[in-house]
Chain A
Amino acid sequence: MALYMDRKWKVITNPDVTSYGQPTFQECGFIAPQEEAPVDSKINSTYIDIDNKSNLVQKEIPESPIVWYPLKHQKTTMFTSLKKWRGVVLKTYKDCFLCRLVDQDGNSPDEEAEILLTEISDEDLQLIDIGAVFYWSIGYQISPSGTRIRSSIIRFRRLPVWRPDELFEAQKKAEKTLISLGIT
């Protein structure tokens, strides 16, 4: 494969970097066709001026013409959080719920908010009850192609039930503390 710019170059690929056996153009360089091997010795250091055929001399250049693009392994959508709250449901209504929001960075005071049930995903709706814990993140999603989308994600925490032995253990610990602190 040849590219024609101000000079002629041949595309070479880094043999170690392939995707499913195919050359990946995210890590490739351009080099003159006459200088295919060894690849490593050419990359980032020299180029061959193929128009000057009478005198094939390697020339030092201040900057390599080989452009290395960063290899991106992202294959799924990524989420970058800008702000995150821990929320607790205080009261439920027909179409919304009242909650207390705690800034996870600790930079702003606790706030109360009403959140519409339409903001909640179907699988989380059944978890909404007084005391239910959720996390609310505002940020942006980055798709594998690099597209950024501003988004708000609310996820409710899934918790197990109180086991009888846990409560029995708590009572035992409490009795010890009550005696120690003189609480009757």
Chain B
Amino acid sequence: MLTPPLKEEVEISIFGPGYGECILVHIGFNDWIIIDSCISPSSKEPCAIEYLSSIGVPLDTDVKLVIATHWHDDHIRGIGKTVNSCSNTTFVCSDGLLTKEFVIFIKAYGARPSLTEGVNEFDIVLKSLETSHRTPKYASAEKVLWKRNGPNGKPPCCITALSPADFAIHLAKIQLKELFPQENTTKRDVVVPRPNNVAVVIWLEVGDICLLLGSDLENSSDKRHGWASNSRSHALSLKTRCLEIYFS
């Protein structure tokens, strides 16, 4: 029997068959954040949604953000259904991802859902956003994604993206243009470009508790993108109680 966290409790739940492909954070006072998604092998439902439903959390009011940190199949399985279920929630993705080229690309591949599951998930997300008249929020370095000021005794909470950096976004746009299929070429699955320049690193502060969610951001010798470009070390030096979670 699963029990919900206490009102003032910060709870971090990690789901997935491997490294923790989906992270669910209760930031206190019935506010929840879903980061990435994976599917439960038994129910075939998104793990975060299944858990929240089992403890009676109303998805459309209590889930504040659904964040897709990066475009790898194992981190976005079921994210379409997650966005659909959380019908009032803000959807966040990397600034380098939802470009005009990528949307055309999604629509081309989305017509063939059996071909590329990752692209198909994004197609479901876009359809859900269109239907519910929501616009996505784009994450980039140092951008505040969500904030709770802490009235009525609630601890303040701030969720900030630490990546991608501007240069990484520029590189990602070039990479995505190259992926667009050409006429009369054989249909193939989409191979996500490497290195992953546009993964979203999340810095989450609740009261004096800090979480660094490392996403799939890669190291690079070029200081204009990757870990070298973000302010992680600066942020860590400021805080004493910090939990780092990396996943790939």
Closest B residue by C-beta to A133:
B189
| Interface pair B100/A174, CB less than 8 Å apart | yes
Q: Which residue from B74, B99, B103, B184 sits with its C-beta under 8 Å from A177? A: B103
The stretch among A29-37, A74-82, A100-108 that forms the contact with chain B is A100-108
Partner of B188, one of A132, A180, A183: A132
Give the contacts of B160-187 with A (CB-CB under 8 A): 181-187
A70 at the binding interface (Cβ < 8 Å): no
Contact between B191 and A162, CB atoms less than 8 A apart: no
| Smallest Cβ-Cβ distance to B101: which chain A residue | A174
B107 within 8 Å of A (CB atoms): yes
- Taking a contact as CB atoms under 8 Å apart, the answer to whether B183 and A181 are in contact is no
Known interface pairs A167-B181, A174-B100; A107-B130 also in contact (CB < 8 Å): no
Which residues of A, 133-184, contact B by the 8 Å Cβ criterion? 133, 159-164, 166-167, 169-171, 173-174, 177-178, 180-184
* Cα separation A89 to B190 with both chains bound (whole Å): 10
Q: Are B41 and A161 in contact (CB under 8 A)?
A: no
Check A103 against B107 for contact (C-beta < 8 Å).
Answer: no
State whether the Cβ of A117 lies closer than 8 Å to any Cβ in chain B. no
Interface size range on A against B:
35 or more
Contact-size category for B: 35 or more
Q: How far is the CA of A167 from the CA of B189 in the complex (A)?
A: 16
A129 at the interface (CB under 8 A from B): yes
Binary B-proximity of A77-96 (CB < 8 A = 1, otherwise 0): 00000000000111000000
Answer whether A166 and B111 are a contact pair too, CB < 8 Å, given A109-B17, A109-B21: yes
Query: Which of chain B's residues have a CB closer than 8 A to the CB of A129?
Result: 186, 188
Q: A162-B187, A174-B103 are in contact. Are A183 and B111 (CB under 8 A)?
A: no
B41 CB contacts on chain A under 8 angstroms: 105-107
> Which residues on A are within 8 Å of B, measured CB to CB?
88-90, 100, 102-103, 105-110, 129-133, 159-164, 166-167, 169-171, 173-174, 177-178, 180-184
Interface residues of B (CB under 8 A from A): 16-19, 21, 39, 41, 44, 73-74, 98-100, 103-108, 111, 115, 117, 126, 129-130, 135-136, 181-191
Can you name 20 A-B pairs with beta carbons within 8 Å?
Answer: A88-B189, A90-B191, A106-B44, A109-B17, A109-B18, A110-B18, A110-B73, A129-B186, A129-B188, A133-B189, A161-B186, A161-B187, A162-B185, A166-B108, A167-B108, A171-B107, A174-B107, A178-B100, A180-B129, A183-B98
